[in-house]
Amino acid sequence: MGKKSRRTNKGDGHTAKTIERGLKPGDIIEISGLQNAPQYNGNRGIILGEHKPDQNGNLRHPIRLFGHKGKILDVRVSNLQHSRDLDEWKKPMLDFGTLLELVQSTKTVYDEDNCGDFAMKLWRELGELGPRHPLTIDYNINIRNEILQSPGHKLFWLAMDAIGHHLLIEKCNNTYRVFQAYIAQNNTGYTGGQWLFSDMRNKSAWLKWGGGKVLSIKDINDLLDLVVKWQKLLVTMLKDCLLDQIPGLENDVIPYLYKSPNANSNLPTQLINESIHHIISWSDTMTRRIGPEGCTAIGLDSEQRVLPTQQGVDILMGLGEHVLNIPSNLYTQCDDLSRKMTGEPFVPASLFLMLNAGIWWEVRRQPNGDAIGFGFRGMDLDVHLTEEEGKRRAEKMQQNEMTNVMRNGISFGEP
């Protein structure tokens, strides 16, 4: 075998090295081998832009250093490598540490067991709270690709009101972390901090996505597959089970409601709108009653699994008022998806959330603009470069986002 050619410090050699290392804007890197500024060796930072040649032809990336009050260096490609310790992800606006450390050091976030409040509090520690947009599976823009392919350091919020759960996914260096919480009661549930720092190996969901572990694209794809399955199952639940059990709802309206409130029909628009209002009002009433009266599922064993002898699961309110009957196969599918995603059994109260939020993403929004049902937010954690740069990038992201939503809606389809 002949001698290997010596690497050059210029031109094509650097281009090859960049390709070989896969360095790109948004990556978290470590600096080594500096001769003229050795005090920065071992420091970590984020790549702010594409490499450019200096006056000697050496390709350099602009790097914002962590822990140096935003100092930027132009560093040769040969002196950069991806951060070797991905358990020490950093973000420029959190000079003191990682998102894990942020949760650990912020008690109101660490101790929160309500998944929606946990997501809200963590998000607000990092940036402003803009409206969330519809997260659906039947449009052209593919949010799965957005999560898996967008460069840089990102945080994504999947707000699944229709099933009563919220997920946060952080992306850095093309790897991921998952953040979630689950209301703790009756020996179930966990806080956001416990999901990240406690030992919950008895839960399969924690073994796969919890503990603050760094996850692969496959791991996240598996999680996103569960979201898609939830959305498809929700349509089945509404169509085959839930809508026709609402007292006072016109049967002729049901086929149009589970497709979409905007589906073509020969029915008067006023009748469809009144039916939607009726469903929302009824499910809101049931949800409010759960607090003082309680909601019971009859037909489950001590592990909250459907008994094999049961034809269905009966949902009772208060002292025994029968409200719904869920076929065993559908309840089992809901329970299986819940355990896989969260590690916890399905909560019967979620059935009323399905009716309240499950099919109204095209017509229902909260006063702040949030989509109801399955909603999505994305945050560019690199946006805080300088105040001026941050504002400029945030405005551009908002313009693009609104243009896409108005033109196409947003899709969470297959990869």
pLDDT at 291 > cutoff 80: yes
Lowest mean pLDDT among 3-17, 304-318, 356-370: 3-17
- Give the pLDDT confidence score for residue 116 in this predicted structure: 94
Give residue 341's pLDDT.
Answer: 97
Residue 65: which pLDDT band, with cuts at 50, 70 and 90? confident
Average pLDDT over residues 376-394: 61
Residue of 184 and 105 predicted with greater confidence: 184
Q: pTM of the predicted model, to two decimals?
A: 0.72
pLDDT above 70 coverage of the chain, percent? 75
227: burial class by Cβ within 10 Å (0-12, 13-18, 19+)?
Answer: buried
For 190-217, what is each residue's pLDDT tens digit? 999 999 999 999 999 999 999 999 899 9
Closest CA relative to residue 314, chosen from 333, 328, 303: 328
Q: What are 232-264's pLDDT values in tens digits? A: 899 889 888 999 899 998 888 887 776 655 555
Full set of structural domains in the chain with CATH: 11-84 (2.30.30.30), 89-415 (no CATH)
**Mean pLDDT, range 359-376, rounded to an integer:** 67
- Judging by beta carbons within 10 Å of its beta carbon (0-12, 13-18, 19+), is residue 391 exposed, middle or buried? exposed
